[in-house]
Structure 1
Amino acid sequence: MAETMTADVAIIGAGPVGLFAVFECGMLKLSSVVIDALGEVGGQCAALYPEKPIYDIPAHPAIDAAGLIEKLEAQAAPFAAPRLLGRLVTAISGEAGDFIIATDQGDTVRAKAIVIAAGAGAFGPNRPPLDNLASYEATGAVQYYVRRRDTLRGKRVVIAGGGDSAVDWALSLKDIAASVAVVHRRAKFRAAPETAAQLAGAAGRREIDLVIPYQLHALHGEAGVLRAVEVADLDGKTRNLDADILLAFFGLATDLGPISQWGLDLAMHHVMVTPSTCETSTRGIFAIGDVAHYPGKLKLILQGFSEAAMAAHAIHPIVHPGEALHFEYSTSKGVPAV
């Protein structure tokens, strides 16, 4: 059912940075509404890797992605921001102080400012060019994300890729899978140095089989049931790896979708912003998190949290023109009512 809503701020994206923007806006007594194309909050954290541990969230030596989303929801809960989920924003009109946002479900949201927290935009996996791939995807024999680690218990797992996802999941699965082999076309991994060192240590203890330098060549099985993954080295020599599951981690293909049609300054599928405010080239529209770009930008959740705070402070004079903002620390003022 189509909704008609009014709020101070429309936040497009319900990932971790979008949820924290609800909190930061609420702390400045700015009401917000959250819109997301996915049917649940959490963005990639919920959709792609809810059980993956995250190690660089302040005060949490380790927290899984789903746990982080749960805590962010609890933090934002006092501000009771409505959610329009399963909606794609199709059009934005108006100007700072009076924007109208339309969705593909017929919703209309009127807001004084907009925060784009859309992460990577629309995303999907980069698929390896292998014959009969679709039949194995249909049965789950080839996967690009791990939603529940326990579904791989006792399985022979082949992981392809050389980045953080490949290394992290190899380490996470080595104690529950029947076997774990990591296929990479070079000896050097692109993962964090500490986890790459852990991978090398696990390989040295024969807990993980490092298949280097090789790349995927073919899949062998029947009716979508995988028996082996064939790999080839740089000279074309092949070998077969026994496998029940192939996890292919070659990154995400991202698409800004309708965002690219909103007249904002873009660079390489990102929205350019002013670093001190996170405002885009259009007054009143801000971008934070992975979708935003400026010199020195780091694609870290914690930097997105900082950007949410900066954007909220920059939005306050748009919502309350001429009114001075007397900033107070949360330790002194608590959580205000919106």
Structure 2
Amino acid sequence: MTDTASLSTDVAIIGAGPAGLFAAFECAMLKLGCVLIDALDEIGGQCTALYPEKPIYDIPAHPAIAGGDLIAALDRQIAPFDIPRLLGRRVEELSGTRGAFTLRTSTGDTIRAHAVIIAAGAGAFGPNRPPLEGLEAFEKSGAVRYYVRRRADFAGKHVLIAGGGDSAVDWALSLRDVAGRVSIVHRRNRFRAAPESLRQMDEAVERGEIEKLVGYQLHGLHGNDGVLDGVDLITLDGEVLHVPCQALLPFFGLATDLGPIAQWGLDTVRGTIPVTPSTCESSMPGIFAVGDVASYPGKLKLILQGFSECAMAAHAIHPIVHPDTALHFEYSTSRGVPAA
């Protein structure tokens, strides 16, 4: 749905990433009408925008599934319900109280809903960019990238990956079979990735599949007209190492911003929304948060935990929409998928 809309629904879901899509499914299974709203032009959130080809290993029943394939599967799951989507716009205003909210978007849509689920992930996000002279020209040409959308773009190239977290290590492992050469640079020999990923990287380094450069930081870029031919690294003592390469992938994390959500009167803590763990309801009655944006003691930022939160939120919303109807929990195997 792309035209300006004015609609009424049971639940307005802000965010169409994995948590938002599964929240729509859980609501639909309880026969709650809903609409998906997202600032991006396509569904999937970070899975689509940042790592559509990157394998995810902790989705139940999937030993490995690419981010894009996960989104496609979630999309197929909600297809029978024909849920409206307002994409390419963000919710600028939210007013009202539990049972009667009004949302207005950046393109002039008006949505009235009994409850709201915020599944906004990390909010608006962008990369932390390294302070390197001439960086912009190489960004425009694609020689410096902060996301990998197609591994094939790096076929045969010497790729230098900078960073010490999961993204850096995971992409070094993923690109070693595609790129001509993969090097990973980090300021210290202590990486902050998952233990199994670190084990695989160490084995790949021993086999010569990945070159590990530790004790260095990015220092300078070499090339002309956006064509990268090398990167200078530097130690704390000022020793410079030149690494010939055709692509640089700096993974220094994301700068995130809740945007207008932070102005709606919700309690927030370091860019997240604290919720009651059993219901995922925020400090404002009738507004719920699920996925990475939700926080509570013991919270794990895993997609699978976000899925569980979606189910809890949908069940907590049912009495708001249907206060006079008791909800008798049934397994999906016994009730099937209700008619849209």
Which bracket does the TM-score occupy, shorter chain normalised?
over 0.9
Determine whether 1:334 maps to 2:336. Answer: yes
User: 1:284 aligns to what?
Assistant: 286
The separation in 2 between residues aligned to 1:228 and 1:136, in whole angstroms, is 11
Q: What amino acid is the match of 2:257?
A: D
In structure 1, give the amino acid aligned to 2:182: V
The residue aligned with 2:135 is 133
Farther-moved stretch of structure 1 (72-81 vs 106-115): 72-81
- The CA deviation string for residues 205-250 of structure 1, in whole angstroms up to 9 with x for no partner, is 1111101111111111112111111001121101100110000000
**One-letter code aligned to 1:253:** A
User: Helix, strand or coil for the counterpart of 1:203?
Assistant: helix
- Aligned partners of 2:334 and 2:279: how far apart in 1? 24
**Pick aligned residue for 1:208 from 196, 210, 215:** 210
**Residue 185 of structure 2 corresponds to residue 183 of structure 1:** yes
Q: 2:34 aligns to what? A: 32
CA distance in 1, matches of 2:134, 2:205: 31
AA aligned opposite 2:294: A
Number of the residue aligned with 1:91: 93
Match of 1:103 in 2: 105
Partner of 1:324: 326
Q: Deviations over 1:163-203 (max 9, x none)?
A: 11111111111111111110001111101001111111111
Query: 1:46 aligns to what SS in structure 2?
Result: helix
Does residue 219 of the first structure (1) align with residue 221 of the second (2)?
A: yes
Q: Paired residue for 2:71, among 58, 69, 72?
A: 69
Q: Equivalents in 2 of 1:214, 1:196: separation in Å?
A: 19
Instruction: Report the residue type matching 1:25 in the other structure.
Output: C
Q: SS where residue 48 of structure 2 aligns?
A: helix
| Selected match of 2:258 from 256, 259, 270 | 256
Measure the CA separation in 1 of the matches of 2:71 and 2:207.
35
Matched, 1:4 2:17: no
Equivalent position SS for 2:60: coil
Aligned residue for 1:20?
22
Cα separation, 2, equivalents of 1:17 and 1:319: 21
Deviations 1:136-184 (A, max 9, x none): 1010110000000001001110000011111111111111111111000
Counterparts of 1:207 and 1:60, CA distance in 2? 26
Report how far residue 322 of structure 1 moved. Answer: 2.5
Unaligned runs of 5+ in 1: none
Q: Which of residues 42, 57, 60 is equivalent to 1:58?
A: 60
RMSD: 0.7
- 5+ unaligned residues in a row in structure 2: which ranges? none
1:59-100: CA deviation from partner (whole Å, max 9, x where unpaired): 000000010001101111122110000011000111111111
Paired letter, 1:187: N
Question: In 1, Cα distance between the equivalents of 2:161 and 2:17?
Answer: 27
Count residues in correspondence: 338
Instruction: Normalising by structure 1, report the TM-score.
Output: 0.99
- Residues 22 and 79 of structure 1 are in contact (CA less than 8 Å); yes or no, is this contact kept in structure 2? no
Match of 2:315 among 307, 313, 328: 313
CA distance in 1, matches of 2:300, 2:155: 35
Q: Percent identity?
A: 66
Structure 1 runs, 4 residues or longer, greater than 2 Å off = none
Task: Give the letter for the 1:93 counterpart.
Answer: S
**Aligned partners of 2:152 and 2:263: how far apart in 1?**
41
Q: Alignment partner of 1:142: what SS?
A: coil
Question: What is the identity, as a one-letter code, of the residue corresponding to 2:270?
Answer: M
What residue number does 1:275 align with? 277
Amino acid of the structure 2 residue aligned with 1:78? P
